[in-house]
Structure 1
Amino acid sequence: MKFSSNISQYDHAIVLGGSIGGIVTAAYLCKYFKRITIIESDDVLNDIFMKSTSSEILDYRCRLESPTSLGRSGVSQIYQIHGLHSEGYKILLELFPQLKDKLFNEYDIRTYSLKTECRLMNSGVLLNQDLTEDFDWLGIDRFTLEIVLRKELCLKFDKQIEWKYNTRVTDLIVDQSLNIVKGIKYRSKKNNNSLSFDMYGDFIIDCTGRNTSSPKWLKKNFNLIIPTVQVHFGCGYVTFIGERFRTDDPSLDSAAIIGAGVDSPNKNTGFITTPIRIIKTIDNNSLGILATFGIDCVNFEYPPNDSYENLLEWTKENLDSEYYTILTKNKSKKWPQNYILLGDAMCTFNPQYAQGMTHAFRQARELEKLFGESCHKLKDISHIFNRRASVITEECWLASTANDWKSPSLKVIETNKNGDVKVYQRSSDSTMTNHPQPRATLMMRFMQCFNMEIHNRITENFDTTICLRQINRK
């Protein structure tokens, strides 16, 4: 971006929010302001974001368990699929001319033709078949794009831009008589009791997104009510990352971007898969594409997000067959075919509650039902059994561990699907352990209350029960 020497610069602009909108706004305003302060609530300048390599950022992105993990807790939708229109891509390249080369050479990103490499359907109509002009689709996830843009902003405008991250704006500084906003009040996000500071600026821009506090501030300071319209339509979505594999359908394998839109009320579900990285592989069945897969809905017809197997089963029943085909070929960490765990091999219980054998018997009976249904392929038995057996296990687990969770010396060791181990330990003396306290789920607390109620009722009627038994024996 070129600067014109005859443009008079203002002194100080304050941008609230350091996400995509804040980054681009700050880059534009650097032409007109001598200095810019970006106030950001998340820790966006940590070493993971700013110093990690491309592969490390991708690995970190794939391991994130939830939006509240280290990263962008203030922008929960950052992990979902995003589309950048060609005009938006053009704007980024104007602001950051080196961006394209860095994305292509350092991050294995590329653009895709909406005319020849895309298959977008709506109501059975192929939307991109008659395009008179081609458009580029940038194959990147928002999480990576935001990190790269922030690096470029800091590199290009380091002397003009000051970041205040882990910082929360609490109010505006105003002059009501002049009807002007003169600055902001802010404090540390980490400590709600921290001191509040004032910052003055010539111009303030709110880029904090959908959770903005501006309506509240404007009403409080100027008695200004911003008209709003809320439309609730039961929107939901599930997104995950996986490798694209050949489906033996040329029309699918040749398209890097595949999707079908929602057409409510006739069709309340849709899907899309978009590439985010080009990967090197020796697998001949791989398309060499790491993609983001997204399923969306309206009218509250939410897709399941508890397991890949459940999502796959739901996809088979609710989405177009082509998307189900793509997902079955997706290289995720799936349970192997023709192999299951049963009984204690799947879950071991406190022997005092005598559930082990019955648990194994019920699962064995469920396995027999599966084979007896005679409608499943052998290779599908394992993942169908896991889904059904887990329901049995969950019942037994809740029943047997409800009282165990009351133990004052309880220790819980969790290992997630990535092999990461977390230890929780309860102790009356907080100095005895460096581990966080385990917290019982709502269902676990319910079971504890339920068990206590049953115990109390049995105790109250104990004598009556004995008498009844004696009468029956006579």
Structure 2
Amino acid sequence: MGGSIGGMITAAYLSKYFKRITIIESDDVVSDTLLKSTPQDILDYRCRLESPTSLGRSGVSQIYQLHVLEGEGYNILIELFPHLKDKLLNTYGVRTYSLKTELRFEANGQLLNKNLTEDLFWLCIDRFTLEIVLRQELCIKFPDKIEWKSNSRVTNLIADRPMNIVKGVTYRCKHNVGSPSCDLYGDFIVDCTGRNSSSTKWLKEEFDLIVPTEQMHYGGGYVTFIGERFKTGDPIIDSMAIGGCTVNAPTRNTGIYVSPIRTIKTTGDNSSGILSTLGCHCVNSEFPPSDSYENLLEWAKDYLPSEYYTMLKSTKVIGPLVPYRRAINERKFVKSLGNKWPQNFILLGDTLCTFNPQYGQGMTHACRLARELNKIFNENYHQLKDISYIFNRRASPISEGCWLVSTANDWKTPTLKVIKTDQNGKVQVYQRDNDSTTNTNSTDSKMQTPLMIRFLQWYNFWFLQCASKSGRMSTDFLRVINQHSSPFSLLKPNNLLAVCHAAFMSYFH
């Protein structure tokens, strides 16, 4: 269920173990308009975008926002599709960029050191183009094995409650309201429909199963656009191919990311020859304006570091300003359900765990989960009925690492709202109101920041202080950001000693 990045990567991996894969996708993604588009057509579609539904992608309203495919996600794509890199670089004008020489990144107010001990690379491409090219490759590589049912929406699970098994799904054509429903049976069902998945509702209806969840509403939002960058006259700014500064609530609730997506031929003497996706983002509901570029520039002048305002002022906008204001963190704790979880059914990607998009973890997280599922099948000694339980256990630490990266700073948001639902359906709502804290349906009068999160906030502060002066620690940090390493790798002894020494020297200065 779902034919975006997570669904396609999962289908590619599972094609080794099943005779037939069916992808049910709510949008018309295999139309000739998209599959037979030239690179220039795709760029023109993206830049002329009038609304998220103008090209039939209403199911992924955030597809036009700035996305980053982190290093580990890029490795997984190349492993599955060895010819993809050559196609992207030579046909689509996409590039990989060195984080050692072409990145200027500010985290929590600290500019990270450029003297990395290891070079890391990012594939810079907009998600809209990446999905189309990946879908083309999937259709070429598996023409007879993978079947697409587009413009179709799953309406329910086909469940055998006494056996605790999902046997298939019921779906219908999305555009024909009166069309009959169809039943599709399968040996293994994966929900990759993303943050708007209905699986929790279906599990409650069919199995009386309540999935424990935690939501964090931190007032997050984006405005994204595509622009051609022109030289500013400042060599530091002009050499910044990839750049960004994260929010650092509550002192700075706004940030920006700049990611190149294509190299282009240009006649302008002052042009950099690079098209970039630029995304201004916020927490605490301090949303950047999207009504006009002039108003966005005024906002940037007040809320962003001066070098980014200068960059924006010298950027030629070639597409609409696309807002997105529904960003939240949400995690489903499926591991805690153990054998109550139904057989032959899993949640994957954003369906399982949704993160603050400013950290760019979503696509790579989905790729890593799909790879883990592949490892389980490849071990070749598990019964099919046990795969879902095994996957839930192994997926948990992958999601946990991304969750900690995403939520540690969000806990500092002045207007944070946390909603927790337990296995019994009891809902607890905690709401911060700037300096005051109130809650509903709870015996505790304050929103308690978890002890682990408080430690991570303290540790991150001092770690980044040290990393701004240490190439080795900057490298460790960027390896975590690229999901090459676990966040807990930042706690290795030499890093821990450096952090404690810096904190000690500051406290007793």
If the length of structure 2 is used for normalisation, what is the TM-score?
0.62
The answer to whether structure 1 residue 169 and structure 2 residue 151 are counterparts is no
The answer to whether structure 1 residue 149 and structure 2 residue 134 are counterparts is yes
The answer to whether structure 1 residue 59 and structure 2 residue 20 are counterparts is no
- The DSSP-based 3-state class of the residue aligned with 2:41 is helix
User: Displacement of 1:131 after TM fit?
Assistant: 2.4
CA contact under 8 A between 1:42 and 1:72: conserved in structure 2? yes
Indicate which of 269, 283, 290 corresponds to 1:298: 283
Q: In the alignment, what sits opposite 1:5?
A: none
Whole-Å separation in 1 of the counterparts to 2:117 and 2:61: 37
Q: In the alignment, what sits opposite 2:227?
A: 242
Whole-Å separation in 2 of the counterparts to 1:78 and 1:333: 17
User: Displacement of 1:126 after TM fit?
Assistant: 1.6
Cα deviation digits, residues 161-209 of structure 1 (max 9, x gap): 0000000101111111111111110100002221011110000000000
Q: In the alignment, what sits opposite 2:63?
A: 78
Q: In the alignment, what sits opposite 1:32?
A: 17
Whole-Å separation in 2 of the counterparts to 1:164 and 1:93: 26
Equivalent residues in 2 for 1:193-204 (5 A)? Answer: 193-204=178-189
Q: In the alignment, what sits opposite 2:242?
A: 257
Q: In the alignment, what sits opposite 1:89?
A: 74
CA contact under 8 A between 1:114 and 1:128: conserved in structure 2? no
CA contact under 8 A between 2:170 and 2:184: conserved in structure 1? yes
CA contact under 8 A between 2:69 and 2:124: conserved in structure 1? no
The answer to whether structure 1 residue 225 and structure 2 residue 210 are counterparts is yes
Cα deviation digits, residues 387-429 of structure 1 (max 9, x gap): xxxxxxxxxxxxxxxxxxxxxxxxxxxxxxxxxxxxxxxxxxx
Q: Which letter does structure 2 place at the counterpart of 1:231?
A: M
Whole-Å separation in 1 of the counterparts to 2:79 and 2:231: 37
Whole-Å separation in 2 of the counterparts to 1:331 and 1:194: 46
- The DSSP-based 3-state class of the residue aligned with 2:219 is coil
- The DSSP-based 3-state class of the residue aligned with 2:30 is coil
Cα deviation digits, residues 310-359 of structure 1 (max 9, x gap): 1111111111111110111112369xxxxxxxxxxxxxxxxxxxxxxxxx
- The DSSP-based 3-state class of the residue aligned with 2:317 is coil
CA contact under 8 A between 2:155 and 2:170: conserved in structure 1? yes
Q: Which letter does structure 2 place at the counterpart of 1:178?
A: M
Indicate which of 98, 120, 129 corresponds to 1:113: 98
Quick one: structure 1 residues 158 and 333, their matched pair in 2 at CA, closer, same or farther if it must change by over 3 Å?
Answer: closer
Whole-Å separation in 2 of the counterparts to 1:333 and 1:127: 31
Q: In the alignment, what sits opposite 1:23?
A: 8
CA contact under 8 A between 1:118 and 1:128: conserved in structure 2? no
Cα deviation digits, residues 417-443 of structure 1 (max 9, x gap): xxxxxxxxxxxxxxxxxxxxxxxxxxx
Unaligned runs of 5+ in 2: 320-509
- The DSSP-based 3-state class of the residue aligned with 1:292 is strand
Cα deviation digits, residues 243-269 of structure 1 (max 9, x gap): 011011111111200111100001000
Equivalent residues in 2 for 1:450-461 (5 A)? Answer: none
Quick one: structure 1 residues 111 and 117, their matched pair in 2 at CA, closer, same or farther if it must change by over 3 Å?
Answer: same
User: Displacement of 1:130 after TM fit?
Assistant: 4.0
Unaligned runs of 5+ in 1: 1-15, 335-474
Whole-Å separation in 2 of the counterparts to 1:38 and 1:289: 35
Q: Which letter does structure 1 place at the counterpart of 2:202?
A: W
Q: Which letter does structure 2 place at the counterpart of 1:87?
A: E
Q: Tell me the C-alpha RMSD between the 2 structures.
A: 1.2
CA contact under 8 A between 2:290 and 2:296: conserved in structure 1? yes
CA contact under 8 A between 2:3 and 2:23: conserved in structure 1? yes
Q: Which has the higher contact order (CA 8 A, sep 6+)?
A: 2
Whole-Å separation in 2 of the counterparts to 1:333 and 1:111: 22
Equivalent residues in 2 for 1:281-292 (5 A)? Answer: 281-292=266-277
Whole-Å separation in 1 of the counterparts to 2:257 and 2:55: 27
Whole-Å separation in 2 of the counterparts to 1:85 and 1:181: 33
CA contact under 8 A between 1:35 and 1:161: conserved in structure 2? yes
Whole-Å separation in 2 of the counterparts to 1:51 and 1:156: 16
Q: In the alignment, what sits opposite 1:102?
A: 87
- The DSSP-based 3-state class of the residue aligned with 1:236 is strand
Whole-Å separation in 2 of the counterparts to 1:201 and 1:130: 52
The answer to whether structure 1 residue 48 and structure 2 residue 62 are counterparts is no
- The DSSP-based 3-state class of the residue aligned with 1:293 is strand
Q: Which letter does structure 1 place at the counterpart of 2:272?
A: L
Q: In the alignment, what sits opposite 2:336?
A: none
Cα deviation digits, residues 1-46 of structure 1 (max 9, x gap): xxxxxxxxxxxxxxx0000000000000000001000000001011
Larger Rg: 1
Whole-Å separation in 1 of the counterparts to 2:245 and 2:33: 35
User: Displacement of 1:95 after TM fit?
Assistant: 0.3
- The DSSP-based 3-state class of the residue aligned with 1:301 is coil
Q: In the alignment, what sits opposite 1:332?
A: 317
User: Displacement of 1:132 after TM fit?
Assistant: 1.8
CA contact under 8 A between 1:111 and 1:139: conserved in structure 2? yes
Quick one: structure 1 residues 67 and 221, their matched pair in 2 at CA, closer, same or farther if it must change by over 3 Å?
Answer: same
Q: Which letter does structure 2 place at the counterpart of 1:132?
A: T
Indicate which of 215, 230, 233 corresponds to 2:200: 215
- The DSSP-based 3-state class of the residue aligned with 1:184 is strand
User: Displacement of 1:154 after TM fit?
Assistant: 0.4
CA contact under 8 A between 2:228 and 2:318: conserved in structure 1? no
CA contact under 8 A between 2:168 and 2:189: conserved in structure 1? yes
Q: In the alignment, what sits opposite 1:348?
A: none
Q: In the alignment, what sits opposite 1:271?
A: 256
CA contact under 8 A between 2:47 and 2:318: conserved in structure 1? no
Q: In the alignment, what sits opposite 2:177?
A: 192
Whole-Å separation in 1 of the counterparts to 2:295 and 2:142: 48
Q: Which letter does structure 2 place at the counterpart of 1:129?
A: K
Q: In the alignment, what sits opposite 2:364?
A: none
Whole-Å separation in 1 of the counterparts to 2:132 and 2:223: 22
Whole-Å separation in 1 of the counterparts to 2:68 and 2:127: 9
Whole-Å separation in 1 of the counterparts to 2:265 and 2:195: 38
Q: In the alignment, what sits opposite 1:427?
A: none
Kindly tell me the number of residue pairs found equivalent between the two proteins.
Answer: 319
User: Displacement of 1:66 after TM fit?
Assistant: 1.5
